Homo-oligomer: A and B are copies of this chain.
Amino acid sequence: MAWARWGCCPWLVFLCALGAWGHPKAANLRGEDVRNCSISPPYLPVTAVNTTAQLTALRQQMHSQKLSAYIIPETDAHMSEYIGERDKRRAWITGFTGSAGTAVVSVGKAGLWTDSRYWTQAERQMDCNWELHKEVDITSIVTWLLAEVPAGGHVGFDPFLFSIGSWKSYYTALKNSNIQLVSITNNLVDLAWGSEKPQFPSQPIYALKEAFTGSTWEEKVSDIRSQMQKHHKGPTAVLLSALDETAWLFNLRGSDIPYNPFFYSYTLLTDSSIRLFVNKSCLDSETLKYLNSSCSGSMCVQIEDYSQVRGSVQTYASGDVKIWIGTSYTTYGLYEVIPLEKLIEDTYSPVMVTKAVKNSKEQALLRASHVRDAVAVIRYLVWLEKNVPKGTVDEFSGAELLDKFRGEEDFSSGPSFETISASGLNAALAHYSPTKEQHRKLSSDEMYLLDSGGQYWDGTTDITRTVHWGTPSAFQKEAYTRVLIGNIDLSRLVFPASTSGRMMEIFARRALWDVGLNYGHGTGHGIGNFLCVHEWPVGFQSGNIPMAKGMFTSIEPGYYQDGEFGIRIEDVAVVVEAKTKYPGSYLTFEVVSLVPYDRNLIDISLLSPEHLQYLNHYYQTIREKVGPELQQRQLQEEFQWLQRHTEPLSARALRTTSLAPLLVVSSLIILGWSV
């Protein structure tokens, strides 16, 4: 999956690229029925939410805290990409449900800051209590605060909803002003929300079976402690804030967050203790036993209540200790209770960096999940090929069927994100997903983009295929083929160990750039073993860490023709050693997604012999890995489809199209010509 729903902070880097590369404009899919606050009385569409009561309740809280303003970001206390219902505070106070945006409420005004993807949605969902600011940088918010807040005024915020970076930005920008930032751990929106706020989830937390884990939690703890011992700054503890860090470390999973099998948690792993902060009631006796929670030695997990984390960290930090954190996922709520001289700051925690490199068992698990995922996707593509011409399939029902097929696979645990099932012009929209009410019929006259993934106990998947069942235009074929070339050129790149993804992602764009085309999003992201579908810090963006053997990343170039169609071809690939002619430490990618590309959209004349060789080798791999799986399940129709769609591609098409250059070369060879 590319940009859609990538809401948490690191993905902002990715989103920013949208502006830089000239993405298709965020069209207003559902009409232009937006509010008009400039007339009297104001016009409000039926979709607008009356927020007067919410604002009144919040301002009462602000008043009792003597605040002139209060900042409400859309995030949770773990900087999660997806957030639970109870963390949708900004949506509750504004009415606006988009995944990115910050609200600020002063005594007399209320403002929302969001990016261009969401402007129309905000104008449809917000009432006239709210100003819409079409900017997202903190400077713009601070400029507004400087005008709204009286000298000496206090601006409150929940430190658990501020990344360290956000806090530093606000703090620096307000440094020379007469306005003071006030950290208040008791969230004021929660107080205003009161009993209406969704409850803290109480779903069980469970241990993964050993068959689905790369190492035991004890091995992982020992490894992280060994890294602590080797660290020249002598950390005595590692503090984990991201939900996937704790889930990975203990091989535990939960269901507090949509699409991610996580549970609200923190971990303080010290040199002599392991302290897990969770909702204790979610742990049954079996899990407590699994965690050795009844003892108190260095390999026993002490369970503390989730709400105690700040106090516990503060108490620990009062000793002669050094706490190692990853600044990307630690909030100011914990940062501010640790004295600076006791902090060891890296961008990512050692757990985040260790998790990024899958060991051989984890690699095998992820590969296996991709074989089964391919079966589900192929079943769906076969079904579409038969049913789309009948005119009975729409984007939403299609996505539902795909979910069903995935659900029938072994170890399935639901989708890894909301399926992007987009036909025709909808595929050019930046963050489109169909709904039961709003969707488009699939047709043989249009391209169809399907970006979806599954959570399985052994791995998380994410794949995009774009198809056309009729007669695509020459331009559609050219654009598709150039996107495919980008995918191939990056996938087959040989590069030195430790090259950053950012440096190499241009290979995914070159064939498009050659003719003046491009795409407005990043080129790929890490992926987990039954963890995040967007797993940092692996990928092709500037914040990503260098590529290393055993990392998994998506490779997903695209092309979007505003108002007409969208193309994306996404595979997941693992970083493997490359055998080079001369010795050296070189790497390359091996694609583990196993679904053939749409032959109907490939203009073979644009492919070099190397591209054809690569493609045919990939198709051979698909046949070898997915074919037996289909046969074993007696999915004969799918097996035949797979055979047809993985026939080796040849240069035959060259006869009629761009044969000329090669023929010249051939002639020169035959004639022995030289100047």
Give the interface of A toward B (CB within 8 A).
Answer: 20-22, 176, 340-341, 493-496, 498, 502-507, 510, 513-518, 580-584, 586, 609, 647-652, 654-655, 659, 661-666, 668-670, 672-675
* A650 & B673 in contact (Cβ 8 Å cutoff): yes
Contact A673 B661 (CB under 8 A): no
- Of B503, B580, B650, B669, the contact of A516 (CB 8 Å cutoff): B580
A516 touches B651 (CB 8 A): no
- Chain B nearest CB from A322 CB (Å) reads 13
CB contacts (< 8 Å) of A662 on chain B: these are: 609, 662, 665-666, 669
Can you show 27 pairs from A to B with CB atoms below 8 A apart? Answer: A22-B496, A176-B341, A502-B502, A502-B503, A504-B506, A513-B586, A515-B580, A516-B580, A516-B581, A609-B664, A609-B665, A650-B668, A650-B673, A650-B674, A651-B668, A651-B669, A651-B674, A652-B672, A654-B665, A654-B669, A659-B669, A662-B665, A662-B666, A663-B666, A663-B669, A666-B666, A666-B670
Q: Which of B506, B584, B586 contacts A507 (CB 8 A)?
A: B506
B residues less than 8 Å from A651 (CB atoms): 665, 668-669, 674
Q: Is B518's CB under 8 angstroms from A496's CB?
A: yes
Tell me, rounded to whole Å, the shortest Cβ–Cβ distance linking A142 to chain B. Answer: 14
Q: B655 near A517 (CB under 8 angstroms)?
A: no
**Bound-complex Cα distance A584 to B518 (A):** 10
CA distance A88 to B518 in the complex (A): 50
Measured CA separation A659–B669 after assembly (Å): 8
Nearest B residue to A675 via CB reads B648
Instruction: Give the CA-CA distance A663 to B609 in the complex, in Å.
Output: 11
Q: How far is the CB of A476 from chain B (nearest CB, A)?
A: 13
Interface centre among A502, A504, A513, A651 (most CB of B within 10 A): A513
Bound complex: CA of A413 vs CA of B74, how far in Å? 61
Task: Give the copy number.
Answer: 2
Residues of B within 8 A of A510 (CB): 493, 507
The docked-state distance in angstroms from the alpha carbon of A631 to that of B383 is 73
CA distance A510 to B502 in the complex (A): 15
CB atoms of B672 and A669 under 8 A apart: no
Q: Which residues of B contact A22 (CB under 8 A)?
A: 496
- The answer to whether B586 touches A516, judged by C-beta atoms less than 8 angstroms apart, is yes
10 smallest CB-CB distances across A and B, nearest first, come from A516-B580, A652-B674, A666-B666, A516-B584, A516-B582, A650-B674, A515-B581, A648-B675, A494-B513, A651-B668
* Min C-beta distance of A671 to chain B, whole Å: 10
A648 closest partner in B (C-beta): B675
Give every chain B residue within 8 A of A665 (Cβ-Cβ): 609, 651, 654, 662, 666
User: Given A176-B340, A655-B669, 7 other A-B contacts at CB below 8 A?
Assistant: A496-B513, A502-B503, A503-B503, A516-B581, A516-B586, A652-B674, A662-B662
Q: Report chain B residues within 8 Å CB of A583.
A: 516
* Candidates B517, B647, B669; contact of A584 at CB < 8 Å: B517
| Central interface residue in A495, A518, A674, by most chain B CB within 10 Å | A674
The answer, among B176, B340, B517, for a CB contact under 8 Å with A582, is: B517
Q: What are the residues of chain B within 8 A of A502 when measuring CB–CB?
A: 502-503
CB distance from A82 to the nearest CB of B (A): 30
Name the one of B506, B582, B661, B674 contacting A515, with C-beta atoms under 8 angstroms: B582
Nearest chain B residue, comparing its CB with the CB of A176: B341
Cα distance A583–B515 when bound, in Å? 8
Measured between alpha carbons, how far is A518 from B586 in the docked complex, in Å?
10
**CB-CB nearest in chain B for A587:** B513
Contacts of A176 in B (CB 8 A): 340-341
Assembly CA distance A514 to B582 (angstroms): 9
Write out the residue numbers on chain B whose beta carbons fall within 8 Å of the beta carbon of A582: 515-517
How far does the alpha carbon of A502 sit from the alpha carbon of B664 in the complex, in Å?
Answer: 36
Q: Roughly how many angstroms separate A513 CA and B547 CA in the complex, as a whole number?
A: 15
Does B341 lie within 8 Å of A21, measured CB to CB?
A: no
Would B496 and A21 count as touching, CB distance under 8 A? yes
Chain B residue numbers with a CB within 8 Å of A647 are 675
Complex Cα–Cα for A493 and B363 (A)? 36
Residue of B nearest to A664 (CB): B609
Give Cα distance in the complex from A669 to B516, angstroms: 30
With both chains docked as a complex, state the minimum distance between the C-beta of A575 and any C-beta of chain B, in angstroms: 14
Closest to A586 in B: B516
Query: How far does the alpha carbon of A217 sit from the alpha carbon of B350 in the complex, in Å?
Result: 55
Question: What residue in chain B is nearest A492 (Cβ atoms)?
Answer: B514
Q: In the docked arrangement, what's the CA distance between A502 and B505, Å?
A: 11
- Interchain nearest-CB distance for A396 vs B (Å): 33
Which residues of chain B are near A668, meaning CB under 8 Å?
A: 650-652
* Bound: A518/B496 CA distance, A: 8
Chain B residues whose C-beta falls within 8 Å of the C-beta of A494 in the assembled complex:
513-514, 516
The answer on a CB contact under 8 Å between A669 and B666 is yes
Q: Closest residue to A670 on the B side, CB-wise?
A: B666
A513 CA / B498 CA spacing, docked (Å)? 13
B514 pairs with A580, CB closer than 8 A = yes
- Write out the residue numbers on chain B whose beta carbons fall within 8 Å of the beta carbon of A580: 513-516
CB distance from A345 to the nearest CB of B (A): 12
Complex Cα spacing A219 to B669, Å = 58
Given the complex of chains A and B, what is the CA–CA distance between A340 and B505 in angstroms?
39
A341 contact set on B, CB distance < 8 A? 176
Residue of A341, A581, A669 ringed by the most chain B CB atoms within 10 A = A669
Give the complex CA separation of A389 and B498 in angstroms: 44
Alpha-carbon separation in the docked complex, A518 to B580 (Å): 12
- Beta-carbon nearest neighbor of A583 in chain B: B516
Separation in Å of the A504 CB from the closest CB of chain B? Answer: 6
Give the distance in Å from the alpha carbon of A378 to the alpha carbon of B596 in the complex: 54
Set of chain B residues within 8 Å of A674, measured between Cβ atoms: 650-652
Complex contact A20–B498 (CB within 8 A)? yes
Set of chain B residues within 8 Å of A495, measured between Cβ atoms: 506, 513
- Within the complex, the shortest CB–CB distance from A405 to chain B, in Å, comes to 30
Residues of B within 8 A of A673 (CB): 650, 652
